[in-house]
Amino acid sequence: MNFDTRKYVIISFFIITGLMYGIKLFYMQVVDVDTWKLEAQRIAEKRREITPPRAVVFDRNGNKVVENKTYYNLMMVEEEMIDFDTLAFGKLLGMTKNEVLDRIEAIKEGEGKYYNPHTKKKQTNYQRIRPYAFLKELTADEMSKIAPHLDRFHGFYEEVTSMRNYPYSSGANILGYLSEVNQREIDNDKFYKPAYKIGRAGIERFYEKEFRGKKGVKYIITSARQNTVGSFEDGKYDTTAVQAKGIVLGLDIDLQAYGEELMKNKKGCIVAIEPSTGEILAMVSAPSYDPNLLVGRKNINKYYPKLVGDLNKPLFPRPLASEYMPGSTFKLLQALIGMQEEVIYPNSGFPCNKSVVGCHNHASATSVTEAVKHSCNPYFYAVTRRIIQQGKKKSSFEDSHIGLNIWAKYMHSFGLGVKLKTDITGLRAGNIPDSKYYDHWRGKGQWKFSAIRSISIGQGEVQLTPLQLANVAAIMANRGWYYTPHFVKSIDGKGPHPEYLVKNRTMVDTKYFPYVVEGMRRCVHEPGGTAPMARIPDVVTCGKTGTVENFKLVNGRLIKKPNHSVFIAFAPMDNPKIAIAVFIENSGGGGGTWAAPTASLVIERYLKGEVKSKAKEKRIMDAKLSLWK
């Protein structure tokens, strides 16, 4: 054989070999992909992933508000279940043979099916080589009765897990709860496997990745009968699971618990914020529930349907998702915008003309400060008309169109009509109507200020969430700026997310705030003010009441219901430590009747550590308002 012939033989050999490997690779990756995936997973299942407990949560004072308790899952791997004695296994667990078989079948059905594009058939997601939880959430006592006998039942082993525990029965609407992952979540994130838990609400959901920590891995050696016989290489390649660092909230859990006590037998909200940081001190949604009721599959199956079916909606996050008319608390913003737009001045006065809009009896206000103190409806009707109809166009319809959009931009700068980017899910934006809104509902060029005048006193189409209203109180405390309200104070000692360290400034100059703030002080502390029940000994409180008319559509008719009681405040007047909004539904009376004294008790408790106004406290604690019977 000459040289050229040998050369071609060698080249042909390499080409044929390459084609063979290429065809084999194509077959493995495209044609027979499922078989090789299964084999790869079979090898991978010799490594046991160790999931760490979720992060522990503390309040601002170092109190542990969320912790972990150890539980156990009894795991099974069907492929390893050699010579499985179902009768004996059932006796160990207190089950019949049929119940054992039914449980295995339920696990398989629970995994669901997927469409296999190669076989053109639906196939089960269940895999014999994968571990599944045969029994979940066993206590240490329950597991101690089972574990010593597991060596008789190949393919079964105990897995340490944990569940949440809440030392305080408060803050459920903030903390949230966990439940098992579904198949979509498993497919989307490799961290999760069947029976893993994931945050479903509150900060547990928002900070899911920060809560879950880092998995560890333990490699095992199995015998021919698939029994675990030891660690691979004496654990040389094992890694330790790392629990996520502690999370510290700005929440004051004692204040939260006190707020929930005050709101028992009532529907509504309390939201308290530290103005200097934007940290949420308390966020009460009433009625509430003990967060321990939704710990674990058994409790969720038992209590979740009851909570969902409760007519008083304890699962509904009122401070975040309820959109209420703010009533007279809204007048503070009208005054500020009016001064900034220079359509009024600090000493502008308007008569209390009840023929224009109804009002309670008081002297006509001769200044912005006096108007806030008396909460004069005709005064703020006149102010808002001047803001919206500034004479920029001859047509009052066109003029109102321009003016309303200017007004709406100011409101947006106060965080109204937009979603506050708070570190919790379930927020709504409320509603600040602009020209597009009224063009849609009334027709373009078919409306002017006289048709929308109810917005001047916080009624009509204006709607705010209680969180937004509390943030307005914080803005008043800061005289024109705010940090976005948030819950987490620190993660691993590194402070909150950067966006919560950015000052948000309103479109109103700081110089106008003192006139309104002084009116808030007089509202509480001077005769003729609307909130005398908000007074606290030795504390200068600045507040504003709101009384919200409450109509419900019943069988096509608007029915007048008891008014909502609203109050916002901050204290002390100088160097404020707390800003608050209280909203009590269907309570009747004005903002000064129920919401103002409730707010004052929370402020007093926070600033002084105790409440000395015992008669006021008893009145609020004993009140039963607005709940479905």
CB 174 within 8 A of CB 168: no
What's the CA gap between 277 and 474, in Å, rounded?
A: 10
What's the CA gap between 158 and 156, in Å, rounded?
A: 7
What's the CA gap between 407 and 400, in Å, rounded?
A: 10
- Cα 38 to chain centroid distance, Å, stands at 40
Quick one: which H or E segment has residue 224?
none
pLDDT digits (tens, 9 = 90+) for 517-568: 999 999 999 999 999 999 999 999 999 999 887 777 677 777 778 888 999 9
Check pLDDT > 60 for residue 364: yes
Kindly state the DSSP code that residue 586 receives in the 8-state scheme: T
CB 131 within 8 A of CB 51: no
CB 251 within 8 A of CB 282: yes
* Residue found under tokens 């600045």: 542
Based on DSSP, count helices (H) and strands (E) in the chain, helices before strands.
22, 20
Distances (CA, A) of 49 to 23, 46, 130, 193: 35, 10, 12, 10
Q: What is the CB neighbour count within 10 angstroms for residue 119?
A: 9
Using left for φ > 0, alpha for ψ between -120 and 50, and beta otherwise, residue 546 falls in beta
Binning pLDDT at 50, 70 and 90, where does residue 336 land?
A: very high
Q: Which two tokens stand for residue 508?
A: 């109103």
CB 594 within 8 A of CB 587: yes
What's the CA gap between 561 and 588, in Å, rounded?
A: 8
Select from 387, 592, 391, 425 the least CA-distant residue to 508: 387
pLDDT at 555 (0 to 100): 74
pLDDT digits (tens, 9 = 90+) for 461-504: 999 999 999 999 999 999 999 999 999 999 988 888 899 999 99
What's the CA gap between 368 and 373, in Å, rounded?
A: 9
Highest mean pLDDT among 1-10, 36-45, 462-471, 618-627: 462-471
pLDDT digits (tens, 9 = 90+) for 432-471: 999 999 989 898 889 898 888 999 998 889 999 999 999 9
Select from 376, 326, 372 the least CA-distant residue to 350: 376
Hey, what domains does the chain have and what are their CATH numbers? 50-249 (3.90.1310.10), 253-622 (3.40.710.10)
Predicted model pTM: 0.84
Q: Which two tokens stand for residue 390?
A: 């500034």
pLDDT at 236 (0 to 100): 55
CB 55 within 8 A of CB 213: yes
* Residue found under tokens 């009016």: 338
CB 114 within 8 A of CB 128: no
Quick one: which H or E segment has residue 77?
none
Spatial neighbors of 389 by CB under 8 A, at least 6 apart, are 396, 399, 400, 403, 448, 449
What is the identity of the amino acid at 384? T
What's the CA gap between 233 and 377, in Å, rounded?
A: 81
pLDDT at 629 (0 to 100): 42
Check pLDDT > 90 for residue 583: yes
> Could you tell me which residues are beta bridge partners of residue 197?
180
Residue length of the chain: 629
Distances (CA, A) of 520 to 49, 263, 270, 619: 59, 24, 19, 24
pLDDT digits (tens, 9 = 90+) for 196-245: 889 999 999 999 999 988 877 777 665 444 445 455 555 555 677 778 88
DSSP string, 116-171: ETTTTEEEES--TTS-EEEEEEE-HHHHHHHGGGGGGSTTEEEEEEEEEE-SSS--
